[in-house]
Amino acid sequence: MSSPDLSLLPAAARQPAADPRARRRRAAAWLGAFALACACPAVAPAAVALGAPFPKLAPSDLTGGALPATSGKVVLVDFWASWCAPCKASFPAYAKLFADYAARGLVIVAVSVDENTAAYAAFVQRFRPPFAALHDRQQLLVRAVNVPAMPTCYLVGRDGRVRFVHAGFHGTDTERELRREIDALLAERR
């Protein structure tokens, strides 16, 4: 039987145990390696940060309707799901924002992350949003963005960079903040 490859272990763990002190050092090295494995974070994609370019909205990934033109516009991208109660509360607020700001250049793209297509369709049928409510059926976009909570909305500036992020929907507080931020973004020149 060939000896195992211990090259990845700390140096102290690879040393032969000659005396009690060396054995203690080796035991400590093993414990250290195990503690390091415990502390090692699970591999996860990095979330889209403020100031970073928002991932490209690909029509092939988003089904359920036409993707509006977003180039050079202020875009509110909202990630929602039919099973998420705050998402339901957010739709009437987004409808009001759309009514007030669409003429000034705001585009709203609500992206459903539902795994159940029928649930997505029933939600859209019930709320009939005036803005684009598309379906990220394979959850490609939401994985790329790595949203921290449901719902999360991203306000993207005319330059395509994320300017504001709202994790969760907190009723009129969120709506008020969104209005202030949208006003600021629409006032910016390209």
Partner 1 sequence: MKTIRLQPAAAALLAVLGFTVFGGCTNAGLVRVHPWERATLADYTMRPDRDLLATAIADHIYTSRESATGGRGVGGSGCGCN
Q: How far is the CB of 115 from partner 1 (least distance, A)?
A: 6
Q: How many CB atoms lie within 10 A of CB 45?
A: 9
Q: Cα angle at 136 between 133 and 139, to 5 degrees?
A: 150
Give the Cα separation of 142 and 144 in Å (integer): 5
Q: Which stretch binds partner 1 (CB under 8 A): 54-62, 66-74, 95-103, 136-144?
A: 136-144
Residue 87 CB contacts under 8 Å (≥ 6 apart), including other chains: 80, 81, 150, 151, 169
Kindly write out the interface string for residues 161-190 of this chain, putting x where it contacts partner 1 by CB under 8 A and - elsewhere. Answer: ------------------------------
- What is the β-pairing status of strands 132-135 and 106-112? parallel
Among 90, 82, 91, 63, which residue's Cα sits nearest to residue 122? 82
The site string for partner 1 over 50-89 (x = CB under 8 A, - otherwise) reads -----------------------------x-x-xx-----
- C-beta closer to partner 1: residue 85 or 99: 85
Q: Does 150 bind partner 1 (CB under 8 A)?
A: yes
In the block, which residue shows the tokens 């006032």? 187
CB of 85 to partner 1, least distance (A): 8
> Would you tell me which residues interact with partner 1 (CB under 8 A)?
1, 3-4, 6, 17, 20, 23, 30, 34, 37-44, 79, 81, 83-84, 113-116, 139, 142-143, 146-150, 152
